[in-house]
Structure 1
């Protein structure tokens, strides 16, 4: 799974470089997220702006990534494409995650 991690003083932004988080990619996603979040800031933002499809396995993998980070750390989401945002709305996961519209705004705040 292609994940790019950028560390800032108080935030880590992890960008998913693939178009799909589905059953075929879910285990690779969880493993890559575990490695990417093993150390670093307590606030992690998952940039999903390149992801155009998430199925139930992918959704479960994102939830699992949040849970494996533990209660003291926070996983937010950003840059959801319309189809991915719809999955989060339909499953009411927007009440579980803080979802930011614009990853560029977060990047500018992290460097500012």
Structure 2
């Protein structure tokens, strides 16, 4: 599980480099996000633009990450592909999260992941 961390002016962006968030990677996903968000400043935005499949285990992992955030931080989502957005809509979890069309700073970092501040592999 690889997650790049990129700091913008007001958010820590965690870009997930997985095509699937399902039962096979749910535990790794939570561990990787926990490591990547440690010491985050400002908002934490989970960039799921590369994820094209999510099942209930993946959704549960995202909700688990939301619950583990410190009280002063909030988890936001960005870049949901249609199939992933549909999972959030069907379960009404889209009412729990702020969802952005694109992650803050996505234009600058999408081309070269080597520019990321941190690269976490779990």
Give the alignment's TM-score, normalised by structure 1. Answer: 0.90
In the TM superposition, residue 102 of structure 1 has moved relative to its aligned partner by: 2.1
In the TM superposition, residue 66 of structure 1 has moved relative to its aligned partner by: 1.1
Is the contact made by 1:9 and 1:41 (CA closer than 8 Å) also made in structure 2?
A: no
In structure 2, C-alpha distance between the alignment counterparts of 1:94 and 1:47, rounded to whole Å: 15
What residue number does 1:32 align with? 32
In structure 2, C-alpha distance between the alignment counterparts of 1:53 and 1:102, rounded to whole Å: 17
In the TM superposition, residue 81 of structure 1 has moved relative to its aligned partner by: 0.3
Is the contact made by 2:46 and 2:77 (CA closer than 8 Å) also made in structure 1?
A: yes
What residue number does 2:101 align with? 101
- The 5 Å alignment of 1:1-20 reads 1-20=1-20
What residue number does 1:76 align with? 76
Which consecutive unaligned segments of at least 5 residues does structure 2 have?
107-122
Structure 1 runs (4+) deviating above 4 angstroms are: none
More RCO (CA 8 Å, sep 6+): 2
In structure 1, C-alpha distance between the alignment counterparts of 2:66 and 2:72, rounded to whole Å: 11
Give the alignment's TM-score, normalised by structure 2. Answer: 0.83
Backbone CA RMSD of aligned residues: 1.2
Correspondence 1:67 to 2:64: no
Is the contact made by 1:15 and 1:47 (CA closer than 8 Å) also made in structure 2?
A: yes
In structure 2, C-alpha distance between the alignment counterparts of 1:41 and 1:9, rounded to whole Å: 9
